[in-house]
Chain A
């Protein structure tokens, strides 16, 4: 009787041999390759501006800040006349900023408002670099008088120094 060939064991040996050969080749291949690497980090700065109210000229006028950058001026029983309120803009970020806009909203009739000392486009250097702040003043001229209480807002917007749009 003819002996039956054990095909499976022969195939198994062939596969194991192939696997070993590939492993050896792999070691050889790995030994002759290497790499060079660029490892980089970008640490971004930040823009951060603090608006602070300053001293006002009398009890008829007060100034406060509505976050983040809106100056709120309130007049109480103010007869016709000129009133002022100071404010400070401080750059607490790491990048210089410019004042992009100064607008006014809710100014009552019979009242004229102007912002002195600062203007759109003024640059404030980054924290720690002189001058990292600017001081301004709101001048309010009351023509008709503000019998009860009236208030208006002056929102400021800031932008990193090189993104200012004229």
Chain B
């Protein structure tokens, strides 16, 4: 019995010694990595705005440069005058973007002549659906409103254009 105990004790000591030796002869290698994600962004800027009145009875204002909302206000409007806004959209993100089709909403009379067109850098008309804009690049365009004779007097009309965009390889 005493011999067995001695054997066990020796075995424990031997294993302990091996463990220390094992610890001394092992180490770790690491991979330390990070992923910095990009971002998408787009901002309006206003190139010009005017109307084709001979005299200056009504006027148009466009503002909101550097933001994602372009505000257009037309004051004292009346039929037969065409109001025009030249706009730019700059890709301010770090990832190219694709656009969806513009979505229009408003209570302008049905016969209002309302146009929203876009052009590429070469000045060619482009369909915004799926149009790719790289970081720092600009797509520009023009919006025109020509009120028809059935427009109500002394009335506030509202219109809204929503242009959704997303990262180029997942959208639309």
Residues of A within 8 A of B (CB): 29, 32-47, 94-96, 126, 160-163
Contacts and interface: CB of A to CB of B under 8 A. Distances in A.
Contacts of A33: 40, 164-167, 171
Contacts of A43: 73-77, 155-157
A41 B73 contact: yes
B157 A44 contact: yes
A34 B87 CA distance: 18
Contacts of A95: 57-58, 76, 78
Max chain B Cβ within 10 angstroms of own Cβ: one of A29, A34, A163: A34
A51 B165 CA distance: 56
Interface SS of chain B: strand
A4 to B, nearest CB: 44
Interface of B: 40-44, 53-55, 57-58, 64, 68-81, 83, 87, 89, 95, 106, 108, 143, 145, 147, 151-167, 170-171
A35 B68 contact: yes
A122 to B, nearest CB: 16
Q: Top 4 A-B pairs ranked by shortest CB distance?
A: A33-B166, A40-B72, A46-B153, A46-B154
Contact of B163 (A32, A37, A42): A37
Given A33-B166, A34-B41, A45-B153, A40 B78 contact: no
B165 A45 contact: no
Nearest to B143: A38
B43 A42 contact: no
A34 B164 contact: yes
A100 to B, nearest CB: 14
Nearest to A95: B78
Contact of B152 (A29, A36, A40, A44): A44
A131 B108 CA distance: 33
Contacts of A38: 44, 69-72, 87, 143, 159-161, 163
